[in-house]
Amino acid sequence: MFGSLTRFENSLFDEFWRWQQQMDELLGDGSGAIRSLPRGSFPAINVGHTAEKVDVYLFAPGIDAKQLDIAIQQNLLTIAGKRDVPISEKATYYRQERFGGEFRRVISLPEDVDPERVEAKYRDGIVQITVHRRESARPRQIEIH
């Protein structure tokens, strides 16, 4: 039925599909898929906590850890840096999912963290930032005599 529309090298359906992909990139499709992140959410992070500490995992493959700027102030953890992505000027890109350029992520931490006790480790493209909680904020077991 639609054979006459799809005979051309760049069919009408191909153009509509390409427009849909570009709109999804621009606006975000909101699908909640495992790889969908809101625009500007680079690098991806995971944040977890225990009674003793808060762990932030920053997924930063291809980024030199020495180029990262990690700071903590007033319970805000700020991570900034830059990733260079080589782009060929001879190529035509229909989709670019690898982010290149400067980035900045700000993570709000609980009020009981100790900004003097922060550690950062880098391994296999993952930065682990551990912020310990203050001793006074930890639960304490009270014995009955």
pLDDT tens-place string over residues 64-77? 888 899 999 988 99
CB 102 within 8 A of CB 81: yes
* CA–CA distance, 47 with 35 (Å, rounded to integer): 17
How many residues can be counted in the chain? 145
Residues 26 and 81 in one domain: no
Domain count, the chain: 2
pLDDT higher than 60, residue 12:
yes
Q: What is the mean pLDDT of residues 70-90?
A: 88
Percent of the chain whose pLDDT exceeds 90: 31
Q: Tell me: the pLDDT tens digits for 105-114?
A: 999 999 999 9
Residues 27 and 53 in one domain: no
| Highest-scoring range by mean pLDDT, 12-16, 35-39, 125-129 | 125-129
Residues 89 and 102 in one domain: yes
Domain that holds residue 26: 1-36
Q: If DSSP states are collapsed to H, E and C, what string results for the chain? A: CCCCCCCCCCCHHHHHHHHHHHHHHHHCCCCCCCCCCCCCCCCEEEEEECCCEEEEEEECCCCCHHHCEEEEECCEEEEEEEECCCCCCCCCCCCCCCCCEEEEEEEECCCCEEEEEEEEEEECCEEEEEEEECHHHCCCCCCCC
Q: What is the pTM of this model?
A: 0.64
* CA–CA distance, 58 with 109 (Å, rounded to integer): 15
Residues 128 and 74 in one domain: yes
